[in-house]
Structure 1
Amino acid sequence: MGAALTRYRVIAYVVGVVLILLVVVGMPLKYGWDEPVVVETVGPAHGFLYMIYLVAAFDVTRRAKWPLGQMLLVMLAGTVPFVSFYAERVVRRRINAQVREEQPQPQTVAG
């Protein structure tokens, strides 16, 4: 579970940064100043990276045995600026809590 979570966390941050670059820099340049170069370069990169994000999100949520609805919400988080950062934090906390719950508790000797 640890490796899948790490892969998801890394790609969530990468997708989030690229999406913010696309929306905050690329879109104003394209529609405000008629300079589409950032959108033309960053847009396809975000599309490719988002596909990797989908695979990583599917993998980590499947391993955690989350329901389909929660899995889809995590997957959609890569389409809204800044939401992938929030989703990464929520996923990390929930999975870490889930792993702690699944670990066997030490036995104490009553005396």
Structure 2
Amino acid sequence: MIRLFKIIAILEGISALVLFFIAMPLKYIWDSPEYIRPTGMAHGVLFTIYIVLATMLKFEMNWPWKKYIIICLASIPPFGTFIMERKYFGTPSNS
């Protein structure tokens, strides 16, 4: 389930970046709103799956509440899920 969560975290982050830096500028700067709905829907679905999986993993892996809250809050700012995924689930260093 960690592997699925990592994939969803990356996809959720990508969808947020596409929404904030492509779809929204197209709507508000170039008056082209047709990309907001599908991008926003994809982002909303991925965000929901991200939070559900984080909650399931919290109880399955007995995460401390602090870690769980940080992981959930990481879904809010742009690039947050990328940083979180690397910090908590990245490959360990070989040092």
- For normalisation by structure 1, the TM-score amounts to 0.73
Is 1:42 matched with 2:42?
Answer: no
Is 1:57 matched with 2:50?
Answer: no
Aligned residues: 92
**Identity over aligned pairs, percent:** 33
Q: How far has the Cα of 1:6 moved from its partner?
A: 0.6
SS of residue paired to 1:52: helix
Which protein has the bigger helix share?
A: 1
The partner residue of 2:16 within 14, 19, 22 is 19
Instruction: Tell me the distance in 1 between the aligned counterparts of 2:35 and 2:74.
Output: 22
CA RMSD of aligned residues (A): 1.8
Runs of 4+ in 1 over 4 A off after TM superposition: none
**Matched residue, 2:74:** 77
**Higher Rg:** 1
Q: How far has the Cα of 1:59 moved from its partner?
A: 2.1
- For normalisation by structure 2, the TM-score amounts to 0.84
Identify unmatched segments of 5+ residues in structure 1.
97-111
Identify unmatched segments of 5+ residues in structure 2.
none
